[in-house]
Amino acid sequence: MEFKRKIYEKMIKWKDEYAPNYALFLKGARRVGKSTLALKFAKEEYKSYIEIRFDKAPNEIKDLFINSLEDLDSFFNKLQVHYKTRLYNRESLIILDEIQLFPKARQALKTLLEDKRYDYIETGSLASITKKSKDILIPSEEYTIEVLPMDFEEFMWAINDDITLDIIKEHYNKLKPLGKIYKDVMKRFREYLLVGGMPQAVVEYVTSKDFGKVDIIKQNILNLYENDIDNQEEENTTYVKNILMHIPSELSKHDKQFVLSHINNARQREYKGSIKWLNESMIVNIAESISDPSVAFNLSTIGSAFKCYMGDTGLLVSLAYKNNDYLENELYKTILFDKLHINEGMIIENAVAQALKANGYNIYYYKKVDKELKTTIMKIDFLIRHNNKVCPIEVKSSNNYTISSLQKFKETFNKKIGTLYVLHNGDIKTENNIIYLPYFMAFCL
């Protein structure tokens, strides 16, 4: 089953504007649909294609990338014979799938791109950080696109509900309440929170509508990530797993900031590499704390303070009750029946972080603490920029909430502040120059 993905338009742009001078590198976590996207693109945009899967390619094919680059006519002839596929000059694509498993092929791209006969797509997980690539000359002629889990809009496409999406966007643009349709969309959004955006999980849900079967797929993906952690050689395996397994408990706290000392009194310097590994593997989304939102966000980050979200919210739901049967997962019940409690607001905030990441934002937040009293004075869940203005976003999972931090933030940084947003369990409204949006509209920001 193939789904409509937003990234496809970016792939078209690469073909039209950058190929054949650049290879397209589809980078993402395991099971986000990189290979499926590459194959769909090959079938629809080229006369022919060859897919070389380095998890299965025989040694004689791998050897071509080492010993046959001086005679490219022979190189391509052998590929065509082995894969029983004719290649056409400027009309064919060669897919190098799971290229991190054979970095020599990535290095060979420089020579292959200079030839300009064909286009190339690489797919990979962890390819930028694996030790296998430490002695490899990484080609500069790469056009990299990050492949992320499906966002809510793509989920709605998958269940063939384009009409509702058009209505959501129209009401967002006009800031007009959705009215009667609001409850129906929230029902869909709750389904999305439970299923998530991993394509295999979405396929199962579209096919069976069985959350139990969906959860089995998500648990298998989590097991795959654990195996990847066990097999990597860059960082301490125990440290990486500790961070991953502590994500639900850290997000269930009120401020959701990840405190490393909660892991057996761990220290920042010990876990710094492990955090980086998880972030670059795209299994998680790291939100950085900033000290001064009036400047470029990346200039005022606080290295020791961060939040750690799962890259996919559906996986977070399963991770929270890992190794338990789906029927024992209380989050399924609370989300389905719209009974989220304050500590389960981690699911909503994770979904917002995922939506912002899908929209191309780096994730930042703001927190000010009174050092003497050791209390939080001000806390803003997310910060984005629109038209060179800082737009604060507060996520409110309970029905009884205050916006005092948002008001203080506006007063403190008044000249630099743009639109103020509150994402809440309610319809669209505007009060005191603050825009209130339903959670599911995070994909519109």
Tell me the CATH number at 40: 3.40.50.300
Domain assignment of residue 326, yes or no: yes
Q: State whether 303 and 227 are in the same domain.
A: yes
Name the residue range of residue 208's domain: 152-382
Q: Is the peptide bond before 103 cis (omega within 30 degrees of 0)?
A: no
Domain assignment of residue 96, yes or no: yes
Q: Distances in Å between the alpha carbon of 289 and those of 253, 273, 358, 362, 425? A: 16, 18, 19, 11, 25
The backbone torsions φ and ψ at residue 303, rounded to the nearest 5 degrees and listed phi first, read -55, -30
Domain assignment of residue 437, yes or no: no
- Which residue intervals of 46-93 are DSSP H helices? 59-67, 72-83
> How big is the chain by its Cα radius of gyration, in Å?
23
Q: State whether 48 and 133 are in the same domain.
A: yes
Q: Provide, for the chain, the percentages of residues in helix, strand and coil under a 3-state DSSP scheme, each rounded to the nearest 5.
A: 50, 20, 30
Q: State whether 159 and 140 are in the same domain.
A: no
CA gap 59, 77 in Å, rounded? 17
CA gap 397, 102 in Å, rounded? 45
- Tell me how many helices (H) and strands (E) the chain has: 16, 13
Element (H, E) at 290: strand 284-290
Q: State whether 193 and 215 are in the same domain.
A: yes
CA gap 79, 64 in Å, rounded? 9
Q: State whether 280 and 345 are in the same domain.
A: yes
Domain assignment of residue 188, yes or no: yes
pTM: 0.94
Domain assignment of residue 182, yes or no: yes
What local confidence, expressed as pLDDT, does residue 420 receive?
Answer: 97
CA gap 357, 242 in Å, rounded? 24
In this structure, are strands 119-124 and 142-146 parallel, antiparallel, or unpaired? unpaired
Domain assignment of residue 330, yes or no: yes
Q: Which residues of the chain have pLDDT under 50?
A: none
What local confidence, expressed as pLDDT, does residue 74 receive?
Answer: 97
What local confidence, expressed as pLDDT, does residue 387 receive?
Answer: 87
